[in-house]
Amino acid sequence: MKKTEKLTYGIIGLGRFGMALAASLAEAGCDILVLDKNEEKIRQVRAYTDHAYVTSSLSKETLTEAGIPNCDVVVVGIGKLLDVSILTTLTVVSLGVKRVIAKATTPEQGEVLQKLGAEVVYPESDMAVRLAKKLTSGSLIEFLSLSNEIEISEILLTDKLIGKNLAEANLRGKFSLNIIALEHGDNTQITLSPDYVFAEGDIIVVIGRGEDIRKFQNFLSA
């Protein structure tokens, strides 16, 4: 993949985290490059990008050939296989990628990944932290910044949208934001129909530019 003016994102590993990230970035109009050893998962993600490749090796040569060094941001979504996670992160960092984000499942793993030069995210732990903040504040909670422009945030809806359906809200048209999930109590939905009516207590997870997210937050609180 040749580098273009807009940012290109690489995703290594298509677990639930990686697959959701790939779909969300693609829906936001981002260029993505995806690698995984599972052929079926790669087949699924090709609905979002032509640059999705099956690979059983994550060596420097393989990653270079696939185009990882040309990415501005690379997310290593391998959490459970500690040795593979660490070696892959080390390799990506050594290839000179500007920004490397690595998934971790334990503080010890995260500490190692951070020392290698990666930013670390803890998807499972972050869920608990966000729930605690929701119970005590109800404010916007940004939980992953992918670049200076693209962010994923969850937002508690106000009466500005409660009672309106998804089509009427038209977040994509009005704010250039894509909804990637909706949380209500213990329930989470990742697919919403246009006639879904927002209810009190709904929390939406959106992806888009930070500037647009802030505009939407101002709209809700005005």
> By the 8 A CB rule, do 100 and 117 touch?
yes
Question: Residue 147 has which token pair?
Answer: 């670049």
Assign 141 a pLDDT band (cuts: 50, 70, 90).
Answer: very low
Three-class SS of residue 12? strand
Convert the pLDDT of each residue in 50-96 to its tens digit: 999 999 899 999 999 999 999 999 999 997 789 999 999 999 999 99
- Percentage of residues in the chain having pLDDT higher than 70: 86
pLDDT of residue 91: 97
Convert the pLDDT of each residue in 110-129 to its tens digit: 999 999 999 998 876 665 55
Domains of the chain: 8-121 (3.40.50.720), 125-221 (3.30.70.1450)
What letter represents residue 123's amino acid? Answer: P
Distance CA 45, CA 79 (A): 19
